[in-house]
């Protein structure tokens, strides 16, 4: 059999979620030849549309929006109170956090609105208001800190996927903090049956069709009342940003139109995944679909997608349990280089704990609100983002880790998921390309 064609490059990024994409693009910007290996969209492709970077842990829940700390200041406070969190480990470099956020949002500007430095407040499908340093363009007009007047929270008549009353209850709770008064309504968009039983992806495609967004805008306009300042709809306002679904609706309705955040399945997640794919291609990152199994590390061949890749540096951006970077095969272990999985905070705060060989049940607490060590399990890294072995030694000077594969934070729930992915991805990509922060 002919040997697999070999690719030689400066940086191999394992993982194509937000951390891997940011690392690859940062390394490309630094002039490196970059190959990315990824087996799936990862949790980034499931995410709800918010880019959560930091919320001030010291802030009182009833503090008005306008009195809240900016995003970087909030990250500094997290770093001060949680030394095992990636922001804590990188506290001396947090002055570059905003450079990283601006870099990633600029690279993905086809889907992401420019960040302002403070958190936007976005409604979730479950009746909460969620702070986010950045969000998809389709969501920016629903920022509760900015809407002046009544916010019209829409559901779809005859479709059980979203409850506008529940969504609006999130706005009711934060109205005293400076948010708008919400009004829940049902839009009767689905006189055609396939709409009423459609998945979010079906609905998004229906609204992209010529005339459909305009028709939806006219229906919205008919139920508007005096004082209505903006409308938020279920997160199905088109998959392709070029279809301009919110803009077309807004032009007919006469008020700004936005989406609220998404649950699964997530149209915004797919939108983000596609935007990442397009940006990587435009930037000249070579993407190989497939799994890197038991790679040996820098300067040695790694098999992926029928090719053999030899890279001077590696960035492990392989995610956590959803992405597949950390797996449980009797014990927790990192899936590509077989590194030990640890965590350095929470009730099991001993950083010397090696989770491998411990039963997963010993890493959880029955009180679901208590910190769960299992959910913060991941690689232990140093301040340069080098993974460490069980004895705390750097595994390899040219292997870096980024994103959810790094332990010490719970990316799905602690409000720093995308922020950690972007900051560590940016730092790791630059370091792997031979450029420090």
By beta-carbon proximity to ligand FAD, the closer residue of 171 and 292 is 292
Quote the tokens at residue 374: 């299992």
* Cis amide leading into 179 (omega within 30): no
What x-and-dash track marks residues 399-428 binding ligand FAD by CB under 6 A?
----xx------xx----xx--x-------
> Considering the rule CB under 6 A, would residue 122 count as an interface residue with ligand FAD?
no
Nearer to ligand FAD, 217 or 403 (CB): 403
Reduce the DSSP state of residue 14 to 3 states and report it: strand
Tell me: does residue 240 bind ligand FAD (CB under 6 A). no
- Residue 190 CB, shortest distance to ligand FAD, in Å, is 26
Contact mark string toward ligand FAD, 297..336, x via CB under 6 A: --------------------xxx--xxxx---------xx
Tell me the H-state helices in 178-266.
Answer: 193-196, 200-208, 212-223, 245-253
Answer whether 258's CB lies under 8 Å from 138's CB: yes
Asked if 131 touches ligand FAD (CB under 6 A), the answer is no
- Could you tell me the CA-to-CA distances from 95 to 71, 75, 82, 131 in Å, in that order? 12, 10, 17, 21
Q: Exposed (0-12), middle (13-18) or buried (19+): which is 332, by Cβ within 10 Å?
A: buried
Identified binder of ligand FAD from the candidate list 12, 32, 39, 343, rule CB under 6 A: 39
Q: Cα–Cα distance between 379 and 343 in angstroms, integer?
A: 7
Residue choice 79, 292, 315, 332 for contact with ligand FAD (CB under 6 A) = 292
Fill in the DSSP letter of residue 55: -
Interface with ligand FAD (CB under 6 A), residue total 41
Q: How far apart are CA 403 and CA 385, in angstroms?
A: 10
* Contact criterion met (CB below 8 Å) for 90 and 75: no
What distance in Å separates the CA atoms of residue 36 and residue 163, rounded to the nearest whole number? 40
40 binds ligand FAD (CB under 6 A): yes
Beta carbon of residue 253, minimum distance to ligand FAD (angstroms, whole number): 26
Residue 15 interacting with ligand FAD (CB under 6 A)? yes
* 119 lies in the binding site for ligand FAD (CB under 6 A): no
Rounded Cα distance, 189 and 359, in Å: 51
Of the pair 19, 185, the CB lying nearest ligand FAD is at: 19
Q: At closest approach, how far in Å is the CB of 130 from ligand FAD?
A: 8
Q: Which of residues 43-62 bind ligand FAD (CB under 6 A)?
A: 43-44, 46-52
Contacts to ligand FAD by CB under 6 A? 14-20, 37-44, 46-52, 264, 291-292, 317-319, 322-325, 335-336, 403-404, 411-412, 417-418, 421
């Amino acid at each position: 059999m002919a040997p697999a064609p070999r690719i030689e490059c400066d940086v191999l990024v394992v993982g194509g979620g937000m951390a891997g994409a940011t690392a690859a693009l940062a390394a490309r910007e630094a002039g490196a030849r970059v190959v990315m290996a990824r087996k799936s969209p990862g949790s980034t492709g499931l995410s709800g549309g918010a880019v959560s970077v930091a919320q001030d842990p010291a802030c009182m829940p009833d503090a008005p929006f306008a009195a809240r700390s900016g995003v970087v200041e909030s990250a500094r406070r997290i770093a001060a109170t949680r030394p095992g969190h990636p922001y804590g480990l990188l506290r001396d470099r947090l002055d570059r956090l905003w450079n990283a956020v601006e870099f990633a949002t600029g690279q993905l500007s086809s889907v992401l609105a420019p960040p302002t430095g403070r958190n936007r407040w976005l409604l979730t499908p479950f009746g909460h208001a969620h702070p986010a340093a950045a969000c998809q363009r389709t969501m920016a007009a629903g920022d509760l800190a900015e809407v002046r007047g009544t916010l019209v929270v829409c559901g779809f008549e005859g479709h059980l996927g979203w409850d506008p009353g529940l969504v609006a209850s999130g706005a009711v709770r934060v109205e005293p903090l400076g948010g708008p008064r919400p009004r829940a309504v049902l839009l009767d968009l689905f006189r055609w049956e396939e709409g009423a039983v459609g998945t979010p992806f079906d609905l998004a495609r229906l609204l992209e069709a010529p005339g459909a967004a305009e028709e939806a805008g006219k229906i919205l306009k008919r139920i508007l009342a005096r004082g209505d300042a903006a409308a938020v709809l279920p997160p199905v306002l088109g998959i392709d940003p070029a279809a301009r679904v919110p803009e077309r609706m807004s032009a007919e309705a006469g008020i700004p139109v936005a989406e609220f955040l998404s649950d699964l399945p997530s149209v915004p997640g797919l939108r983000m995944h596609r935007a990442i794919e397009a940006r990587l291609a435009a930037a000249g990152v070579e993407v190989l679909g497939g799994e890197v199994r038991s790679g040996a590390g820098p300067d040695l061949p790694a098999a992926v997608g029928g090719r053999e890749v030899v890279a001077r540096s590696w960035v492990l951006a392989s995610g956590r349990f959803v992405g597949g970077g950390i797996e449980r095969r009797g014990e927790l272990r990192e899936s590509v280089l077989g590194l030990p999985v640890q965590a350095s905070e929470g009730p099991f705060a001993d950083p010397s704990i090696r989770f491998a060989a411990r039963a997963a049940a010993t890493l959880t607490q029955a009180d679901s609100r208590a910190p769960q060590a299992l959910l913060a399990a991941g690689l232990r890294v140093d301040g340069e983002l080098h993974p460490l072995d069980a004895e705390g030694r750097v595994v390899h000077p040219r292997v870096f880790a980024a994103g959810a594969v790094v332990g010490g934070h719970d990316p799905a729930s602690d409000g720093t998921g995308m922020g950690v992915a972007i900051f560590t991805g940016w730092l790791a990509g630059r370091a792997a390309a031979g450029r420090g922060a």
